[in-house]
Amino acid sequence: MKKFLTAHFNLMRNSKFFLVFLSSIFYILYSAPVALAATLYFYPQNLDVFQGENVVLEVRLNTDGETINALEVEGGLAGENMTIDSADTSNSLVRIFIEPARTDGKKFRFIGGAPGGFNGVGIIGRLNLTALATGNNAISFNEPVKIFTNSEKATQSAVKFLGATFNVIDKPEGYIELSSRTHAKQNAWHNAKEVNIHWDLAPGAEYSYLVSLDQTAVPDEIADKPAGDKLWLGDIALNDLTDGIYYFTVKEIGSHIVSRYSIFQDVTPPEWVSITLNKGTPETENKSYVSFLAKDSTSGIDYYEIKIDDGIFEQVPPPNYIVNKTDFRRIVIKAYDRAGNTVEQSIETKGGNYSVWIGSAFVILIIFSIFIIRFRKI
């Protein structure tokens, strides 16, 4: 077993070999028909952005009828006036990531697989960018991109690439500065059920705003006003947003200047996929171990914590944790998503030595049987 684990980790160091291996395994387990061609692109592909604003760029794949089950995608920005703050994999077509999505501020990387294959148009991941200075910029994919078909030989697919361009401009006079006390950081996930958006009102101005899943959408020329006799105070409370990434846009009536604010909303806790307490094996030095895995369909799983009995919670990597305490009675496992939502599960035991308790139960059963027999004789 230890030799197998060593070989497994050595395979992971050679990403191309491991992707071919992974793709072949997925095909054997979940064989599906195969076609040709695929297009890798960004959305949106052209965007004007004001200096200081945040942009969410989707990395998308159109298989064009082809079924793929493993990929390695890299790319990066051409200029220095923008930065990639983070890479997000929520709701990705990739179900198993060999490593977390990476970015160093300029380059990005996604690598993983889709058991059973993927056919259609889907999102590989999202890049959260900030416009630092004015000027043009572009983002593109770095070759060789590796996309493998869902075939017995794990053939590497031919791929077409479409980059994206940005035009970062100064904030003009009349630009509306937006802020939020509930979602203060635009490219971070939040779990506040009410979303607050604020801006300072200009005397006599009327405004039109829009909440959309599409960051390219803009408000119309119809003024939005509070119901009844209420007056604008420069604050809006959004209470009916389900989980997802939203874009709040606002403009003054008669102006073409649109201000945007990103809302990363996730109020739903993760779900457990499986939790199992296992007896020790020679590989764990006969110590019990816990196998655990959770999923979160919106912001994704951030980290796990485990506590043994009355100890303190410690952060642990999935999917296995070896329990070093032999006489433990309770294990508590927590899973956190990137918005801070959590789900907790506890495992109650009568101690780590299962054989002692099985033997004790057997002795108690014998004594009880003897008592019943004697009672019947009386």
- Span 242-264, pLDDT tens digits: 999 999 999 999 999 999 999 99
Asked whether residue 266 carries a pLDDT value surpassing 70, the answer given is: yes
Residue-by-residue DSSP string for 218-262:
---SSPP--STT----SEEEE----SEEEEEEEEETT----EEEE
* pLDDT the model gives residue 8: 35
pLDDT in tens, 305-340: 999 999 999 999 988 999 998 889 999 999 999 999
| Helix/strand/coil percent split, the chain, to 5 | 15, 40, 45
Task: Identify any residues that bridge with 42 across adjacent strands, giving them in sequence order.
Answer: 59
- Give 114's contacts (C-beta < 8 A, 6+ positions apart): 26, 68, 69, 70, 93, 94, 95, 96
Would you state the pLDDT for residue 120?
A: 92
- Asked if the model's pLDDT at residue 2 lies above 90, the reply is no
Domain covering 15-169: architecture: Sandwich (2.60)
Higher-confidence position of 308 and 20: 308
**For all residues of the chain together, what is the average pLDDT?**
83
Q: How confident is the model at residue 36 (pLDDT cuts 50, 70, 90)?
A: low
Note every long-range contact of 11-16, with CB atoms under 8 Å and residues 24 or more positions apart, other chains counting.
12/98, 15/72, 15/98, 15/111, 15/146, 16/72, 16/146
Is the pLDDT at 351 greater than 70? The verdict is no
pLDDT in tens, 144-160: 888 988 776 668 888 89
| Structural domain boundaries in the chain | 15-169, 195-265, 271-357
Class of domain 271-357: mainly beta
The pLDDT score that the predictor gives to residue 357 is 40
Angle at 17 between CA 302 and CA 161, to 5 degrees: 75
